[in-house]
Every structure is written in C-alpha cells, then in structure tokens.
Structure 1
Amino acid sequence: MLLFTQKQLPDLAFKTAVKKPIPIQCAQIMEPFEVETIEGTMKGKAGDWLMVGVTGELYVCDNAIFNKSYELKNQESLLGKGRSNDK
C-alpha cells in the first residue's frame, strides 16, 4: 500500500484540474457548532459555514477556506428551514 504524507510532494505526473462549478447550499453560523457527518462529528467555530454537499450531506467549512473557494450568489435558498434528512 502506498503512503503519502504532508511532508513531501510525491514524484508523480500530476495533472491540473479545476473544480466543477456545482452550486451548493451554505449558511454562515455565528456561534460554535457541531455537525454529525459521515466521517464523525465535526466542530465549527463562530463564523464557519455549514455546507450541504451534492448528495445532501452536511459538513463544516472553515471561513478562511470558504472565502478562498466559494463565491456567494444572490438567490433564494433551495432548501427550506428545518429540513429533515430522516428517512
């Protein structure tokens, strides 16, 4: 099994890719919060974003990363308040 670490970029033939412009839903949360995700419980800080992914999964996005990665669009939310994922 290959192991890649953060200490050194592996000598591979990397290609350039650009993330597809897929709209997602998000809300900035102005107090500390927790989200149950598919990878366990994530903690968000005041000012971080609660994101709804392309398959409806919830996750946290750090505010600094959000500002580098996303641009807010001026449109109404596609999700209603109090949305439930219970099935």
Structure 2
Amino acid sequence: MPRYRKRPVEIDAHQWHQNGDHPQDGPANREGQVVRYFRRPEPEYSGQTAHDLCGHIWHDHGWIDTLEGGHTVCPGDWIITGVQGEFYPCKPDIFAATYELVEG
C-alpha cells in the first residue's frame, strides 16, 4: 500500500476558551464572526447540561462553520486557519500531535 506524508504547511491557530478569544471575533460580549454562539433547540443541549466529550456545559461552547459543515467548538479547542482561509476546530491532543510552534 502506498504511504503519504503531510506536506509541511505553516498555519495560523488560536486556542479558544470563550467568546471573543479568536482575534477576528472582537469582544466576548457579542457573537463572533469566526466562532459563533452554540445554539441547538433540543433539550439535551440546554445551557447547563454537560457535554459528554469535554465535560463543559453547552452554554460554554461555540459553533464554527467549516467547508464540511458546522462543528461544535469546545473550550480549549484550537481554531486553525486552513490553506484556503477557512476556519476549523481541532482538539488539543490532535493539535499537539500534529503541529509544532514555528520559531522566528
């Protein structure tokens, strides 16, 4: 089976913890353009219910539109700017295993 290596590409990334953390989103007291408020009408996503994967309540989450559709952003996720200027979330453990800080 052929094997492939990911091309070395430098990216911009910012760790997100709450509204306003992404530099293109502005102050935390309003909805951002990159990471929006998390909104779901179903009762299992009510504001004070904890997310099974990260343990934070749903009210503390964000939502991001990607080229593949929308994704939930958990506190601590990294927001990566893709090669076409798109944004997408990445879990901290995947980010640490995939990327390293560029010096200089």
Q: Which runs of 5+ in 2 are unaligned?
A: 19-60
Measure how far apart 1:40 and its partner are.
Answer: 1.5
> What is the Cα-based RMSD across aligned positions, in Å?
1.4
Q: TM-score, normalization: structure 2?
A: 0.54
The answer as to 2:73 corresponding to 1:44 is yes
* Identity %, equivalent residues: 34
Q: Which residue of 2 aligns with 1:60?
A: 89
Question: Taking CA–CA contacts closer than 8 Å with sequence separation of 6 or more, which of the two structures ends up with the larger relative contact order?
Answer: 2
Q: 1:35 aligns with which of 64, 76, 80?
A: 64
Partner Cα separation in structure 1 for residue 77 and residue 99 of structure 2:
13
Q: Which residue of 1 aligns with 2:8?
A: 21
Q: Secondary structure at the match of 2:4?
A: coil
State the one-letter code of the partner of 2:8. P
State the one-letter code of the partner of 1:73. V
Partner Cα separation in structure 2 for residue 30 and residue 73 of structure 1:
22
Higher normalized helix content (fraction of residues) = 2
Q: Secondary structure at the match of 2:13?
A: strand
Q: Which runs of 5+ in 1 are unaligned?
A: 1-13, 76-87
Measure how far apart 1:44 and its partner are.
Answer: 1.5
- Which segments of structure 1 move beyond 6 Å, counting only runs of 4 or more? none
Partner Cα separation in structure 2 for residue 74 and residue 26 of structure 1:
14
Measure how far apart 1:74 and its partner are.
Answer: 4.0
The answer as to 2:98 corresponding to 1:69 is yes
Q: TM-score, normalization: structure 1?
A: 0.64
Q: Secondary structure at the match of 1:64?
A: helix
